[in-house]
Amino acid sequence: MLDSVCHLTSVHIPDDVRIYQKEARSLAKAGYEVTLVAPALKEAALEGVRWHRLPRPHSRLDRFWRIVAAAYRAALASGAKVVHIHDPELLFVGLALKLQGRKVVWDAHEDLPRQVMSKYWLPRPLRRPVAWVAGVFVRAITRTFDAIVAATPAIAKSFPPHKTVVVQNYPLLSEFSSLERIPYGERPNRVVYVGGITAIRGAMEMVRAMEYLPQDLKARFVLAGSFSPPELEQAVRSLKGWRHVDFLGWRDRKSVSAILASSRVGVVVFYPEPNHMEAQPNKLFEYMAAGIPVVASNFPRWREIIEGAGCGLMVDPLDPRAIADAIQWLLVHPKEAEEMGKRGREAVLEKYNWDKEAEKLLNMYRRLS
């Protein structure tokens, strides 16, 4: 008899790519009884996953107290034998559930100490000591858990190897296999960014780069996602390059795939922050899966992926003119750009895809059972 599983998040959106689209659905497909507890969900059962709604938090403090308590109650009420938690504020919940006899899995999406170093709301002098405390806290509590799932090999280094499995955020091939793609040579000069829009993910630099592109290219920058913090949107809109932007706001997975299938270039120019240097952002591999060349930050790990596949150009993410030069080269060399896109897609089909990662997750659950 396969175990029942409860995926627990107090932060992520209902159809989060990693939590719902990949992990929860893969477990349900394999025959596990799966419950997903998350904010703003509608009570429903979808694709074998039973959804349970948490209340929306009113503030960060509210999220840390009332929502965490509600998450604990929901996990208990689910009756799940295994609870798979996704947010740092739920670590104490995991510990309490462990004491209740549940098996507990910690899903490390990010390197928490490195992530703390980039928190804009935390005073800079406090970041290093808080990051150190966060690291000690996470390692101490997760030692009591039954398994750790790490999103990257770099994150996995912080945890005991005997209970840690690396399950990377590679694309779902099904999202990109049935697309009706516009032939690359017939697409307009459309450059795209999809995902969370923040300062340290290059929001200002990407829009500024559009100022430097020749007007005769008639390039448009498609920006799909949500601004964080919300006031950043006004700052970005005030830039001259905004007149070349088509801002779409948040889009569902089907829409994102369609946007990529009609674009020429994907951009991912994160700042060289501690948490970014070894990161492997979804959007990078989604651009590759969609068959479009990428313009990306010149981090060693990203260079290994992109130059290894021959699927894009590397730039200084803090230099809007360098970003513009790379975009321009790809737009005025469509044959070379198309070949880059094809090579990126081949790399995803052969190596960087969720099918291979899902099997690692399922093997870990079989060991727990």
The tens-digit pLDDT sequence of the chain (369 residues) is 568 999 999 988 878 899 999 999 999 999 999 999 998 756 666 778 998 888 776 676 666 778 889 999 999 999 999 999 999 999 999 999 999 999 999 999 988 778 777 776 677 777 887 778 778 889 999 999 999 999 999 999 999 999 999 999 999 998 887 667 789 999 999 999 999 999 999 999 999 999 999 999 999 999 999 999 999 999 999 999 999 999 999 998 889 999 999 999 999 999 999 889 999 999 999 999 999 999 999 999 999 999 999 999 999 999 999 999 999 999 999 999 999 999 999 999 999 999 999 999 999 999 998
- Orientation of helix 282-289 relative to helix 253-261, angle to 10°: 50
Q: The tokens of 137 are what?
A: 């806290």
Q: The tokens of 216 are what?
A: 């005769």
- Domain extents in the chain: 4-169+354-368, 173-350
- Distance between CA atoms of residues 92 and 364, nearest Å: 22
Cis ω on the peptide bond leading into residue 55 (within 30° of 0)?
A: no
List the beta bridge partners of residue 30: none
Q: Which fold has domain 4-169+354-368?
A: Rossmann fold (3.40.50)
List the beta bridge partners of residue 83: 6, 104
Assigned CATH for 173-350 = 3.40.50.2000
Domains 4-169+354-368 and 173-350 share a fold: yes
Question: Shortest CA distance to 341 belongs to which of 289, 299, 297?
Answer: 289
- Distance between CA atoms of residues 185 and 232, nearest Å: 35
- Distance between CA atoms of residues 292 and 188, nearest Å: 13
pTM over 0.85: yes
